[in-house]
A and B are shown apart, each in its own frame.
Chain A
Amino acid sequence: MTEYAVVVIGGGPAGLAAAIKAWDSGAESVLVLERDTVLGGILNQCIHNGFGLTRFKESLTGPEYAWRFIEEVKKRGIEVWTDTTVLSIDKEKRVFAINSERGVFSIYAKSIILAMGCRERSKGALNIAGSRPSGLFSAGTAQKYVNVKGWLPGREVVILGSGDIGLIMARRMTLEGAKVRAVCEIMPYSSGLKRNIVQCLDDFDIPLYLSHTIVEIEGRDRVSGVVIAKVDENRKPIKGTEKRFSCDTVLFSVGLIPENELTAQAGIKLSSQTKGAVVDQNRETEIEGVFACGNVLHVHDLVDFVSEEAEIAGKSAADYANGVRGEKDCVECVAGESVGYVLPQLIDRKGGENVKLYFRVRKPIRDGEIRLESGGVTIFSKRKKIFTPGEMESIIIKKEDLAKFDSKSVLSVIGG
């Protein structure tokens, strides 16, 4: 069987950055497997700008950001097989895949990097009254239609969900001549960036209904309208607050979920909070030599951090393949008060390097204290003016402090 030092599954920004770093860290051979015809992943359809502000200090569009990494891949001896779908992986680190040239085939890898990205949640659509007429799309699918295929899915639009993809699509459809009647958000706040609320909604006088949801979709063959209603604290619609909008299209932007079928099948433990693999700071999963990074691990809002995380995984994968790695001593790190998740979930006390801990808060908090405690000792504490669930936060744990981690540590944000 063919053997590679490092096999990367997925050629989006995570897979590309991981492959480059693995190569630069001395991996003998690196292979990227991508199911699409082109590299770049979701970035190919994200034609708006705002990417790369942290990494390149420039506001790039999605395709431009991807291009910088594709160019770097080309400069190296990294092999790329596109139009190749990975079907499964196993504990022996065999990768089973399919493409038209080779049919179904398998490859043995010393290290595997999982970088399959995420897909959109569609559940939000399930509990709404009415039949299922055409004209219902997830926002990401609509984005692909408009930006890649050049086809406008509808003329009068209502959007459910005010995350960034929903906001970006409100502007995009408007620019192409559609009328966006309303954006409806079940929470009392939007999880989207402020900049997107201003530039995608306010610029075009598109109303944002917070604490509202769609209660009915009208129309038999094609959507003809929706009814929205205000919700109470328990997110239950309040009778008498209904409003009707006529529209031929409804976009759902109700969140992303890591694409982990391969991971789960291989028997790798997933976190119920992130829906991605449980990893240590090297992004190593439960199976030795299998690493994960990018949106398949936890949903990122900024691609800059995807690249950063992917480089950690790329380096670790190369080190593992080259046999340069010491023993591990992992302890748990969990989400405490107001924190939705912490990543990595495991801290290797023998890691020997500073550790960047990523986390998200569960609700907006003003003037909060980030506190990391272990065995009654505060390892880290810092105040910050504002926290929002839409923005991933991070803190750096100094390598000297790794020894202070007890069997279980808790990261909290204490409000007020």
Chain B
Amino acid sequence: MRKRIICTECPLGCEVEVELTNGEVSNVIGNGCIRGKIYATNETLSPKRMVTTTMRTDNGVMVPVKTSIPVDKTLVFDVIKLINKSTVKLPIKIGQILIKDVIDGVDIISTACLE
């Protein structure tokens, strides 16, 4: 199987083609440099994304949050749903863990201070 991936590591945006044999990457072509090979391999085997969103606080205002590590692309919507179900108490400090282990060892962390 072949997959086409646009490398986003630099503005050149090489179109990289990844060849998969039995679920393993067997060949990578089109990448302008080594970073493209690494990127395209990861994007093919286990694409991950940082999730940034907001979470409601007990007085109604929103606090911006992020995941502690990038999460599997397929889990992004699940993470958002879990965050949207919860509320947190003020005050909140930047860097504070608001939900521990929301999914697969990923924490939800505040990215701002709110009084």
Contact = CB atoms under 8 A, between A and B. Distances in A.
Interface of A: 44, 47-49, 59, 61-64, 67, 146-150, 175-176, 193-195, 197-199, 202-203, 385-386, 388, 391
Given A175-B80, A203-B49, A203-B73, A150 B111 contact: no
Contacts of B111: 47, 61, 63-64
A175 B94 contact: no
Contacts of B12: 385-386
Interface residues of B, number: 25
12 contacts: A49-B52, A61-B52, A67-B113, A147-B64, A150-B54, A150-B56, A193-B8, A193-B11, A194-B6, A194-B8, A198-B6, A199-B8
Given A48-B52, A63-B94, A194-B6, 12 more contacts: A47-B53, A47-B111, A63-B111, A67-B94, A67-B112, A67-B113, A146-B54, A147-B62, A175-B76, A195-B8, A386-B12, A388-B11
Interface pairs A-B: 5 shortest CB-CB? A47-B64, A195-B8, A63-B112, A150-B62, A194-B13
B44 to A, nearest CB: 13
Contacts of B49: 199, 203
Interface in B55-100: 56, 60-62, 64, 66, 73, 76-77, 80, 94
B54 A147 contact: yes
Nearest to B66: A61
Contacts of A146: 54
Quick one: which of B49, B62, B111 has the most chain A CB within 10 A? B111
B11 A194 contact: yes
Given A198-B8, A203-B49, A388-B11, A149 B73 contact: no
Nearest to A196: B8
Contacts of A176: 53, 80
B66 A49 contact: yes
Interface string B28-59: 00000000000000000000011111101000
A173 to B, nearest CB: 12
Contacts of A175: 51, 53, 76-77, 80
B61 A150 contact: yes
A301 to B, nearest CB: 11
B75 to A, nearest CB: 12
Contacts of A198: 6, 8
A155 to B, nearest CB: 15
A63 B76 contact: no
Quick one: which of B50, B62, B64 has the most chain A CB within 10 A? B64
Nearest to A65: B111
B56 to A, nearest CB: 6
B64 A61 contact: yes
Nearest to B84: A176
Quick one: which of B56, B62, B66, B112 has the most chain A CB within 10 A? B112
Nearest to A68: B94
A148 B52 CA distance: 13
B103 to A, nearest CB: 15
Contacts of A197: 6
Contacts of B61: 150
Nearest to B53: A175
A186 to B, nearest CB: 21
B77 to A, nearest CB: 7
A385 B13 CA distance: 11
Contacts of B64: 47, 61-63, 147
